[in-house]
Amino acid sequence: MSLPIIGWREILGALKHRGFYPVRQKGSHVVIENGFGLWTTVPRKDEIGKGLLLAIIKDCGLTKQEFLKLL
């Protein structure tokens, strides 16, 4: 199953189910973490490409299938 092109709000909403929360924002980027050492930066864009989305998923310690279930 391929990754959809989604916006930053959908990404944050999905990752909140796995315990990630925003810790700071500067300009057009939001840094999220889960309190256990995993963190990533999500750009505030309406369309985030598949390559960047895959990098965000990897930073959060998830597989592509696990992330798709959260959407």
Question: What pLDDT tens digit does each residue of the chain (71 aa) get?
Answer: 789 999 999 999 999 999 999 999 999 999 999 999 999 999 999 999 999 999 999 999 999 999 999 99
Does the domain at residues 8-70 carry the CATH identifier 3.40.50.11540?
no
- pLDDT confidence of residue 1: 76
DSSP assignments along the chain, one per residue: -PPP-B-HHHHHHHHHTTT-EEEEEETTEEEEE-SSS-EEEEE--S-B-HHHHHHHHHHTT--HHHHHHH-
Tell me the whole-structure pTM to 2 decimals: 0.93
Domain boundaries defined on the chain: 8-70
